[in-house]
Structure 1
Amino acid sequence: MNVERCISLHNEIVRHGWVGSGRSADTLASHSKSWFEVFGDEAEAERSNLSPGLIQFLEQVQIPRVEEEGFYPEFFYWVQGLSHPEHMFEFKDMLYDQKTNLCTLSLTIYDTDDISTQNWYSLETVLTLWLSQIRNETIQAAPEKGGRLREEWPEVFGEYWEHAPWVFVPYNENMLKHNLDVWEKLVEAIESRMPAASRSQAAERPMYGLLDDNIRDTIDIPHQCAYDFLFPARRPRFKMIAPGLRVITSSDFPEQPFRSYMSKDKEEVPPVLLFQSDLNFSEDPTWTPQSLDDAMVPNFFDYRDIKTYPSGLYLLPTNHRSLEDGISFVLPYAIGGKGFARRGDGTNFAGGEDSRGKDSFTELYQPGRRALEEFQAQSLAGVLESWLGMVE
């Protein structure tokens, strides 16, 4: 373990939480204690059980607290903070192996089913990822009252603020810019490789907007990720973004399969079809999915009165617990039953590593378990980056 680096990363996350909660960075040091200072004799009793590197880490990381205000902020959105000495060797939350200096997270009861099969990472990698989520503004700290975030995303706070001062932000400008940038690169890469007869047209000034400006007022979705992507995105000079998959146009949008659920007056956005196949997905009336996690059918649990619709790539319906650029690639037929198809984490569509798979219409491009955060669907940018790699 790079102890000095891990201490620096940890304390930088603490600083973001402290400042984001409305306090001055200059007051952080005077309101912080080390792990050994917080837990005193109970911590000292465990010193002999800890490695030298872990001892140094626990002696120098900051744990902020304002006792007169009862302010004991959580370290980060995914974890509450450093464990109490009494619970330090329990098999839950973040697990740290003192022999290998690697760690993993057990965020749900299912994560401890077989911990030996989970991916383990250095503490530096974990803290770096979390800090990047802060800098990308996916996870942000907010003051107890007021503030821009509370005005923009009141639903992420709820009646009981579970991870104060941290909140999960489903959509922000950084997310939009990243998706638009990757899409631009993909379109440019494809157009630069088009036949000579098409390249002269491609050399003209690029056009922007998958949809025409004159239909802005007719699109019944709020100005969130889907809307904000459709109009500034570069318009390709080709129709098919992948074999059998075409980019939607203004003439297609009125035929969006979940159009009846679209409303500017609702915060939620239903599934939005971006890339469409000419083949339909049809739900078998005998299927009885029990939850959102049923991988057999598309992730449109609240819209299941619509049984047949085009297969293709959809932006997932929005909610305050998931990122708005998440996608579901709906196939017209199920794959995975023979165990060859794999998720991003290497598991088959049944969630295991053996040869027994499970047929699914929706698991293509899905990441599987992400050990350092709660599950999030694959992002649009993630799929576009994969296609860009295939083109280049």
Structure 2
Amino acid sequence: MTFSIDDQLTWRVTPENPIREVDGMDWERCASLHNLITHLGWTGLGNLEAEMPRRTWWQSNITNESLEEEWSGRLSASLKLFLQTAYETPHENFFYYASGLNLPSRFYPGMHEQQGDTILSLYQMTNLNLSGHRDGLNFNQEISRAIFCSDILDSIATTNGRMEWDPLEVVLSAWLGLIDTGKVVAKAKGTSTRGPVECTPWELVPYSEHDLAHAVSSFNNLITRIECLLEDSSLHPLENADDQNRLELGLIPRDVLDSAGIPEGFIRQFLLQVRRPKKIKYVAPGLRLPNPDDFTPHPFQNFQQPMTMEYDDPVLPLPLFISEIKSSKPLFGYPFHEASDLSYGLWMEYCNKDAHHTFEDTCRLYLPFKIGANGFARLTDDSLIGENQEDHGMARPNGRENELYQPGYCHFIPWHGPQLGNVLELWANLVGLGEWRVGEEGVLGGIEKFREADTEEHSHKYQIFAQW
């Protein structure tokens, strides 16, 4: 499918509609995506589309011949065309993480001045309390690539000479993806339930129905692929709706979750909605399905919140797919650092649902050994596990027990952990491709199988590629 200014379906960057090879920025596509986000914010507030102001950034900010001459000389030709086409934001904030295109006087704050005119802060970050020195979306004019920096000091890492930046249309497509999936929502005036006011009209929900559906379907696909490989016809995918309806749902009974104090939210709904396989025990090498005994009680059920968390709406760490191997030392940092004798495996991460940058569906794999020292295992951003991203020399890997599947540096929004649906989708692919063998109880091989992630032959098979 070829980009067409008249066909909105071609604007977003997708595998079917990749970036175009152009000289400089693909300004026409970027402006289309920018203006679409502007439109979604405007109409999300309850305004009529026909009444949306369509004054461009250039018309609003380049108001005399002197400014015209200065900024025509300082900006690349394609960036100038983008700013002559992109609308100014007519409401409070352009997007949840970006208040809008910066004023000319704010293109080069602080450390950006050291780069000359090459790197500018194109979009200002909203006033979220996530950093000490707010920055935003940076744009490199020489290579026409962009990257998000929550803090001005993030540029130490983003300019290390190894980190790949992305075309602006890729970033804007990722932001639209957050809107499309319901993770970021525009709310009409007076209807906001979460805030913060610093991001009006946008809200970020702890998890979206899309996030939950993706995790549930990825788990069910994983189970189905395991069952098919068991060569038991009674376990093969059921072909009609009546058979599908007879499938048993829920890994953990509702009353057990109630007794364990598992609050309403992502993990509770996941445990209630996924299929419960009849014979399968292991869904990954050495990692088993949870059972009611794991929740009576679960490890942090009686956790006493410290004063620093008294105003949080917490979702505590929860073991999901665990091994029989327990750690003799704490797996978690403060305030969970006093808990020991915890099982290695895939855990749901702590989150504060009241926080302004929260992903309730994030998880982390804790292994009883380090991965990464061989220099093959990669994070989502393609950096080496354990490398110092602020080091501008050659990357040096270091082994870590808990960084497989982690994102590294998040290019489009502030940092967040891997979402459960993406991990389960990867596991389903490893089973489907025959990389993980299957036996009577499910996936074969002990937890040592994960060492493959740090080998030249297998490392790419264990790497997650996230959308944002």
**Structure 1 position 368, deviation (Å):** 0.9
Structure 2: distance between partners of 1:223 and 1:43: 55
Structure 2: distance between partners of 1:11 and 1:216: 45
Structure 2: distance between partners of 1:117 and 1:367: 16
Q: Is the 8 Å Cα contact of residues 325 and 344 (structure 2) preserved in structure 1?
A: yes
Does 2:292 correspond to 1:250? Answer: yes
TM-score by length of structure 1 reads 0.83
**Structure 1 position 213, deviation (Å):** 4.1
Does 2:223 correspond to 1:187? Answer: yes
Q: Is the 8 Å Cα contact of residues 179 and 380 (structure 1) preserved in structure 2?
A: yes
**What is the correspondence of 1:12-23 to structure 2 with a 5 Å cutoff?**
12-23=36-47
RMSD: 2.6
TM-score by length of structure 2 reads 0.71
Q: Is the 8 Å Cα contact of residues 43 and 85 (structure 1) preserved in structure 2?
A: no
Structure 2: distance between partners of 1:85 and 1:355: 35
**What is the correspondence of 1:1-392 to structure 2 with a 5 Å cutoff?**
1-29=25-53, 32-39=54-61, 40-41=63-64, 43-44=67-68, 45-65=70-90, 72-90=91-109, 91=112, 92=121, 93-114=136-157, 115=159, 116-144=161-189, 146-147=190-191, 149-150=192-193, 154=194, 156-157=195-196, 161-194=197-230, 196=231, 198-202=232-236, 205=243, 206-237=247-278, 238-261=280-303, 267-283=313-329, 297-298=331-332, 301-319=334-352, 320=355, 321-337=357-373, 339-352=375-388, 354=394, 356-392=396-432
**Structure 1 position 262, deviation (Å):** 9.6
Q: What are the ranges of 5 or more consecutive residues in structure 2 without an aligned counterpart?
A: 1-24, 113-120, 122-135, 306-311, 433-468
Q: Is the 8 Å Cα contact of residues 104 and 118 (structure 1) preserved in structure 2?
A: no
Matched position secondary structure for 2:268: helix
Equivalent position amino acid for 1:253 in 2: F
Structure 1: distance between partners of 2:237 and 2:382: 41
**Structure 1 position 169, deviation (Å):** 1.6
Equivalent residue, structure 1, for 2:20: none
**Structure 1 position 118, deviation (Å):** 2.2
Q: Is the 8 Å Cα contact of residues 7 and 61 (structure 1) preserved in structure 2?
A: yes
Q: Is the 8 Å Cα contact of residues 149 and 414 (structure 2) preserved in structure 1?
A: no
Aligned residues: 359
Q: What are the ranges of 5 or more consecutive residues in structure 1 without an aligned counterpart?
A: 66-71, 285-296
Measured at CA, do residues 121 and 43 of structure 1 come closer, stay the same or move farther in structure 2, by a change above 3 Å? Answer: farther
Structure 2: distance between partners of 1:58 and 1:210: 52
**Structure 1 position 361, deviation (Å):** 2.4
Structure 1: distance between partners of 2:253 and 2:386: 42
Q: Is the 8 Å Cα contact of residues 362 and 420 (structure 2) preserved in structure 1?
A: yes
Equivalent position amino acid for 2:300 in 1: F
Residues 191-246 of structure 1 deviation map (CA, whole Å, 9 limit, x = unaligned): 1111x3x4434567532111134535323121100111001111123000112110
Structure 1: distance between partners of 2:102 and 2:85: 15
Structure 2: distance between partners of 1:201 and 1:188: 8
**Structure 1 position 340, deviation (Å):** 4.2
